[in-house]
Amino acid sequence: EAGVVQSPRYKIIEKKQPVAFWCNPISGHNTLYWYRQNLGQGPELLIRYENEEAVDDSQLPKDRFSAERLKGVDSTLKIQPAELGDSAVYLCATGTSGVGGQFFGPGTRLTVL
């Protein structure tokens, strides 16, 4: 079974530029999460989707971050414009409605110069 796929794996951009990350979930996983992991810290939730609906986006900085999950499958997370403090690893995770835990992708490491 294929795992969660994310791309790109690494991205280096200059501040004020836009950037987008893509996530393809495990087949059949209706719940999708985007996390941000700063260096030396645990992941922090940005947004959670149930199918195509964003049901928890309270931690998403909406002035510059946006996300979508068209058709309830793939998802994209966008930052426009990026700031120096956005440098982090952005993780996508997917799961089902049970308590089996979440399955994480390898993440996208973003460096903003």
Partner 1 sequence: GDSVTQMEGPVTLSEEAFLTINCTYTATGYPSLFWYVQYPGEGLQLLLKATKADDKGSNKGFEATYRKETTSFHLEKGSVQVSDSAVYFCALSERYNAGNMLTFGGGTRLMVKP
Where along the sequence are the contacts to partner 1 (CB under 8 A)? 4, 6, 31, 33, 40-45, 48, 50, 55-56, 91, 93, 95, 97-107
Is the Cβ of residue 31 or residue 81 nearer to partner 1 in the bound state?
31
Is the Cβ of residue 27 or residue 100 nearer to partner 1 in the bound state?
100
Distance CA 18, CA 73 (A): 23
Question: Contact 77/23 with Cβ under 8 angstroms?
Answer: yes
Q: Which two tokens stand for residue 71?
A: 């058709």
**C-alpha dist (Å) from residue 1 to 14, 20, 34, 89, 97:** 37, 26, 21, 24, 19
Distance CA 104, CA 113 (A): 27
Residue 48 C-beta: closest distance to partner 1, Å: 5
Residue 25 C-beta: closest distance to partner 1, Å: 13
Residue 64 C-beta: closest distance to partner 1, Å: 22
Is the Cβ of residue 4 or residue 19 nearer to partner 1 in the bound state?
4
Is the Cβ of residue 11 or residue 81 nearer to partner 1 in the bound state?
11
Residue 3 per-residue DSSP state: -
Residue 42 C-beta: closest distance to partner 1, Å: 3
